[in-house]
């Protein structure tokens, strides 16, 4: 391998690791800042949940269109555009004067994140050979969990001492620095679908359909019209699928799912895993600060155990997936997460702190064993011209899972605590919504184990190659 190739690999890895750190950092830090944000704007827990959910809805809706666009015009171009846009909108979040403006800017931040997510894994896949790809993915995932780890600690400290706005300003500055580095060091461009037509009609059907469906599902208990919005979204998604099957250059190559069962089930397992685990940080932040009465700093230290274990074990899990069947490693990880989530069903006002920390660590270990091997499996199953599509599909599954996770939380909170302000909420009602959420999460995660196992042989075979073409 030439020195130029080595430099390109290093630049790609550092750039992707940087963005893999920033996006989860803002998510975990914001979870700790929500009670402070709620006090300043005198808003309800239900409305605060939209500060998280709006980001996820936007990211999920725009991942596939931007992933396809990146395959056509260049992955680095979309990646860099997303980075500078993310920096700008993060700064605007820090200037927001109401929770409604926070939701608007978080929506734009989600669109920028989609541009980053849909290209990051595709860029790594493009520059790293298959025999070293798992390790690169593992380091990227480790950066994600380092972001999750430092979010509660650094974010909690910043919120407590500098105010919640400082978190967004920090993200804006760091994003700009990474943009400068990637612009100057990441050489080359990757666009295997150059010259193909961009599917604008399919993109519009997909964006409006997925947004309407997820929004309607999360608001169904607070608005009668939401069920019609969800139904309309479902109709648009069905129309999107029918339209895509007739296109020469579709937004997403559905044959990847039809002819490649391992690819389909691995993606479905990803969505289920994130549906069952993403909102744990949000729920535990409310439990520790609102129910127990911890400060944001103290709560951050407790929540640290889960992402620290993720960060420590993700590179090992990624390297392991280069040598053994990734399906088995990923399925074991999801099984461990199921056990940890089930234990939180019994969370109470007097649950010992060491049990909470230990259980968060168990869930973190399960997630680490699942994520890197599952990513390696999915990217191993497609041809280079579909790397952008596969990367954006995987990220979409993650984001849709995260959006569904928050939609479930929002739905249950609207049932149990309605629009009560966070400072006045009844702790017993909040605990009921937390318990019910963990019950449903544990069922979801248990089902996900079987979908992960059903993926079959995850190594790229000649039959898979033909099926993906």
Return phi, psi of residue 408, to 5°: -65, -45
Beta-ladder partners of 44: 421
What is the C-alpha separation between 123 and 119, in angstroms, rounded? 6
Please compute the mean of the pLDDT values over residues 320-326 and round it to a whole number: 72
Please compute the mean of the pLDDT values over residues 245-249 and round it to a whole number: 82
Per-residue pLDDT of 32-61, as tens digits, reads 787 788 778 877 767 777 888 888 888 888
CA distances 106 to 51, 94, 136, 185, 395, Å, are 7, 11, 29, 29, 18
pLDDT of residue 338: 93
pLDDT of residue 418: 66
Query: Which three-class secondary structure state does DSSP give residue 458?
Result: coil
Task: Report the top-level CATH class of 3-199+247-468.
Answer: mainly alpha
Instruction: Specify burial of residue 309 (Cβ count, 10 A radius: 0-12, 13-18, 19+).
Output: buried
Return phi, psi of residue 109, to 5°: -65, -35
pLDDT of residue 385: 67
Residue 307 is encoded by which pair of tokens? 């992402």
Angle at 360 between CA 322 and CA 438, to 5 degrees: 105
pLDDT exceeds cutoff 90 at 451: no
Greatest distance between any 2 Cα atoms in the chain = 63
Per-residue pLDDT of 381-429, as tens digits, reads 777 666 666 766 777 788 788 878 887 887 787 777 766 666 677 788 8
Please compute the mean of the pLDDT values over residues 317-343 and round it to a whole number: 83
What is the C-alpha separation between 284 and 291, in angstroms, rounded? 10
Per-residue pLDDT of 108-129, as tens digits, reads 999 999 899 888 878 887 888 7
Q: Is the pTM of this model over 0.85?
A: no
Residue 181 is encoded by which pair of tokens? 């580095």
pLDDT of residue 422: 62
CA distances 189 to 86, 123, 192, Å, are 21, 9, 10
8 A C-beta contact, residue 257 and residue 361 = no
Please compute the mean of the pLDDT values over residues 356-366 and round it to a whole number: 92
pLDDT of residue 463: 41
User: What are the residue boundaries of the structural domains of the chain, listed by start?
Assistant: 3-199+247-468, 200-246
Per-residue pLDDT of 198-212, as tens digits, reads 889 999 999 999 889
């Amino acid at each position: 391998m030439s020195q130029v190739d080595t430099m390109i690999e290093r630049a790609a890895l550092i750039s992707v690791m940087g963005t893999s750190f920033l996006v989860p950092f803002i998510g975990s830090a914001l979870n700790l800042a929500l009670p402070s944000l709620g006090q300043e704007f005198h808003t309800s827990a239900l409305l605060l949940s939209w500060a998280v959910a709006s980001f996820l809805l936007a990211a999920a809706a725009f991942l596939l269109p931007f992933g396809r666009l990146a395959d056509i015009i260049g992955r680095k171009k979309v990646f860099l555009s997303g980075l500078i846009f993310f920096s700008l909108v993060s700064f605007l979040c820090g200037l927001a004067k109401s929770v409604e403006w926070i939701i608007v800017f978080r929506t734009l931040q989600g669109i920028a994140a989609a541009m980053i997510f849909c290209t990051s894994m595709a860029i790594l896949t493009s520059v790293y050979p298959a025999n070293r790809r798992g390790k690169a993915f593992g380091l990227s995932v480790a950066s994600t969990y380092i972001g999750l780890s430092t979010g509660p600690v650094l974010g909690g400290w910043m919120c407590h001492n500098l105010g919640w706005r400082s978190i967004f300003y920090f993200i804006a500055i760091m994003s700009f620095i990474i943009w400068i580095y990637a612009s100057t060091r990441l050489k080359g461009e990757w666009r295997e679908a150059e010259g193909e037509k961009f599917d604008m009609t399919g993109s519009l059907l997909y964006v409006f359909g997925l947004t309407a469906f997820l929004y309607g599902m999360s608001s169904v208990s607070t608005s009668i019209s939401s069920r019609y919005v969800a139904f309309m979204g479902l109709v648009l998604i069905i129309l999107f699928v029918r339209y895509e099957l007739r296109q020469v250059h579709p937004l997403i190559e559905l044959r990847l799912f039809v002819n490649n069962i391992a690819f389909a089930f691995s993606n479905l397992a990803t969505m289920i895993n994130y549906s069952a685990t993403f909102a744990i940080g949000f729920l535990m932040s409310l439990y520790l600060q609102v129910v127990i009465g911890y400060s944001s700093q103290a709560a951050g230290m407790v929540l640290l155990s889960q992402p620290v274990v993720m960060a420590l074990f993700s590179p090992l899990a990624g390297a392991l997936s280069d040598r053994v069947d990734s399906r088995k490693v990923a399925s074991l990880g999801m099984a461990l997460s199921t056990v940890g989530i089930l234990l939180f069903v019994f969370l109470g006002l007097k649950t010992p702190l060491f049990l909470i920390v230990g259980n968060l660590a168990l869930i973190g270990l399960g997630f680490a064993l699942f994520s890197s091997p599952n990513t390696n499996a999915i990217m191993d199953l497609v041809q280079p011209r579909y790397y952008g599509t596969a990367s954006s599909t995987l990220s979409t599954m993650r984001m849709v899972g995260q959006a569904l996770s928050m939609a479930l939380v929002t739905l249950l909170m609207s049932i149990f605590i309605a629009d009560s302000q966070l400072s006045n909420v009844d702790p017993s009602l909040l605990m009921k919504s937390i318990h019910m959420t963990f019950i449903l999460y544990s069922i979801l995660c248990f089902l996900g184990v079987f979908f992960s196992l059903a993926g079959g042989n995850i190594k790229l075979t000649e039959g898979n190659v033909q099926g993906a073409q």
